[in-house]
A and B are shown apart, each in its own frame.
Chain A
Amino acid sequence: MKEVIKITFPSYSRNESFARGAVSAYAIRLDPTLEELNDVKAAVSEAVTNSVVHGYPDRIGIIELSIWSEKNVLYIRVKDKGLGIADVEQAMQPLFTTATDGERAGLGFAVMEDFCDNVSVKSAVGKGTVVTLSKKIKSRANNI
């Protein structure tokens, strides 16, 4: 049976580090290198921050984080029931951002794509967004 760990939390920005911590704690089982662990932490940080900032810009909503693995592939799913994305392809282009405060670089999806093996985004306007990340972990033991 596939063991999925599911955590839901409110979209307070302080929970961005909580999500990274939860994913790190799980990923340790796969014996990642420090670089792999940092890659995974960054990718989940981007996905959760997007739900906080763009999914629920004007309210606190629920974010659902699911973590599982199959053999040495780590899967992370971040789901919100927020505003959704009208044009996913455009949103995923590096440097594209709808933020207007000049403090976002439009690089969240670029980090996810660069640091993971696969990024899938499903979104519907008014319904929410689901981002699924996967990354093959080359166990540290195999690198020594």
Chain B
Amino acid sequence: MNTGSKLSRVEINLSDKTLTAVISGDVDHHNLQDIRGKIDYAIETSSARNIILDLSAVPFCDSSVIGLILGRKRLADRLGAAVIIRAPNPYVMKIIKLSGLSDMVEQAAKQAEQLAS
């Protein structure tokens, strides 16, 4: 069982009108500060219409991830872009569900999550 916590990183991929932010490592209040700045800079300097927050490589998070999602959604709304959450693991999905943001999760991931539970 892995109990160590991993440093978070974010990788930005831009193609056409879609910006994908692949976040890896644990997401908490501390390492969010860095992730957030990098994502916002990428959003602001691109003309992306779809912003995908890829959480497939996030093993653990607390409610800070909800702040991350809502903060990016607010920025995207202002720029007329949409935010989609991709591939949260079942545990991260539990936090997303608690916050009522399940509708922002990409459908494929949602189906896989339902199969798993």
A38 contacts B91, C-beta separation under 8 Å: yes
User: A110 — which chain B residues lie within 8 A by C-beta?
Assistant: 63, 98
B59 to chain A, nearest CB (A): 9
Total B residues in contact with A, Cβ cutoff 8 Å: 27
B98 contacts A107, C-beta separation under 8 Å: yes
A17 contacts B30, C-beta separation under 8 Å: yes
Give A44's nearest chain B residue, CB to CB: B62
Q: Which among B3, B29, B60, B91 has the highest number of chain A CB atoms within 10 Å? A: B29
B15 at interface by CB-CB < 8 Å: no
B99 contacts A25, C-beta separation under 8 Å: no
B98 contacts A111, C-beta separation under 8 Å: yes
A64 to chain B, nearest CB (A): 19
Of B28, B74, B99, the residue contacting A107 (CB under 8 A) is B99
**Which of chain A's residues 80-138 have a Cβ closer than 8 Å to chain B?**
102-105, 107-108, 110-111, 114
**Which of chain B's residues 3-62 have a Cβ closer than 8 Å to chain A?**
3-5, 26, 28-33, 36, 60-62
